[in-house]
Amino acid sequence: MKYIEVFDQDGLKAMKISEQEAPKNSDFEVKIAVYAVGVNRADILQRLGKYPVPEGVSPTLGLEVAGEIVAIGCQVQGFKKGDRVMALLAGGGYAQFTVVDYRLLMPIPKHLDYIQAAGIPEVFLTAYQTLFILGGVRPKEQVLIHAGASGVGTAAIQLAHVWGAQVSITAGSDEKVRFCEKLGADKAYNYKTQSWSALVWEDTEGKGIDVILDCVGGDYVEKNIDCAAFDGRIVLIGFMANARAQEINLAKILQKRIVLKGSTLRARSLAYKSDLINSFNRDFKAAWATKELKPIIDQVLPWELADQAHQRMKQNLNKGKIILTIS
């Protein structure tokens, strides 16, 4: 089969389409013919050697795919050959075929195509885990989502909005601010031109934010603490700006009874991910059917242009997901 290989070229981590033997599925796995794969920032970090691959996982890039089941293990339940599925992977998505445990599959809603479906698993499950499992968001609570126009951000806006929370976001341009407002954000701030932490505090009438989704890190941590509500929950899922926060007032954490958590999804256990998918389906399966939720696709490119997709994401130009089609 063909797959995208990362290799050294003049000191840089380049990508090319190469050939290798197709993976074989085990008893609990299915083999998927991959038609589309979602691009994630983790792919870029792994390509640069900054995101180690978990032990026993395919070193090929790619954390979410959509395609058709072409082989099935003897212990697989609820799926059959020919089913259209989307899958959460720990790796192996940038390839014509991949294998995955059947408990990490989700059927593709009938009204969605493979390209749309490839923009769902990683970002919607990450957003769901952050807001609901770790953040414990409740209807009518205040939610703040950083990088609102990102893949995870666009998923989080929709989930929080459908749940009945009050949604605020930050983004890096007026265009992205308007984009997020159309998607369901109640308040949106351009972090390049506005003092968002002070405005959030003002717009919530001094009550602050109950749940904050932060993928930025750095000096955002201090600002998150400033605008967090009493008993607020801050969940850190990345550090696009800086892995170190220079100034943190611990007194405010104590005074406000703030809970600060950090989490990733890729390295979680099979049991955890399976439970997460089941919980997500329980809470939001109906919202897919009613089209209250939708994958936001920024750009679709053939996988020969994977580097172009990475560059677009590195420059923070995307609004929603970038998808690669596999041929």
SS3 assignment, position 282: helix
Same domain, 199 and 89: no
Q: What pTM was computed for the model?
A: 0.95
Please answer whether residues 313 and 149 qualify as being in contact, where contact means their C-beta atoms are separated by less than 8 angstroms. no
Same domain, 257 and 127: yes
SS3 assignment, position 53: coil
What local confidence, expressed as pLDDT, does residue 95 receive? Answer: 98
91 lies in some domain: yes
Same domain, 135 and 257: yes
24 lies in some domain: yes
What local confidence, expressed as pLDDT, does residue 290 receive? Answer: 94
What local confidence, expressed as pLDDT, does residue 79 receive? Answer: 98
Same domain, 146 and 41: no
What local confidence, expressed as pLDDT, does residue 10 receive? Answer: 67
Please answer whether residues 12 and 47 qualify as being in contact, where contact means their C-beta atoms are separated by less than 8 angstroms. no
Neighbours of 100 (CB within 10 A): 23
The 10 Å CB-count burial string (b at 16+, else e) for 259-291 is: bbeeeebbebeeeebbebbeebeeebeeebeee
pLDDT beneath 50, residues of the chain: none
Same domain, 131 and 258: yes
AA identity, residue 259: V
For the chain, how far is it from start to end, CA to CA, in angstroms? 11
SS3 assignment, position 2: strand
List 211's β-bridge partners, or say none: 143, 233
Question: Contacts by 170-179 with C-beta closer than 8 Å and gap 24+?
Answer: 170/144, 170/145, 170/146, 170/196, 171/147, 172/316, 176/148, 176/149, 176/319, 179/149, 179/319
Same domain, 59 and 129: no
| Domain that residue 60 falls in | 2-120+295-325
**118 secondary structure, DSSP code:** T
Same domain, 19 and 102: yes
Q: Show the tokens assigned to 291.
A: 């089209």
CATH number at residue 144: 3.40.50.720
Q: State the pairing for strand pair 209-214/142-145.
A: parallel
| Burial class for 196, CB neighbours closer than 10 Å (0-12, 13-18, 19+) | buried
Q: Show the tokens assigned to 61.
A: 């890039």
186 lies in some domain: yes
Neighbours of 251 (CB within 10 A): 9
288 lies in some domain: no
CA dihedral sign of residues 268, 279, 101, 13: negative
23 lies in some domain: yes
274 lies in some domain: no
Same domain, 145 and 105: no
Q: Return d(Cα 78, Cα 114) in angstroms, integer.
A: 20
Specify the number of domains making up the chain.
Answer: 2
CATH number at residue 52: 3.90.180.10
AA identity, residue 38: G
AA identity, residue 292: E
272 lies in some domain: no
How far, rounded to the nearest angstrom, does the alpha carbon of residue 172 sit from its chain's CA centroid? 18
What local confidence, expressed as pLDDT, does residue 261 receive? Answer: 96
Same domain, 165 and 234: yes
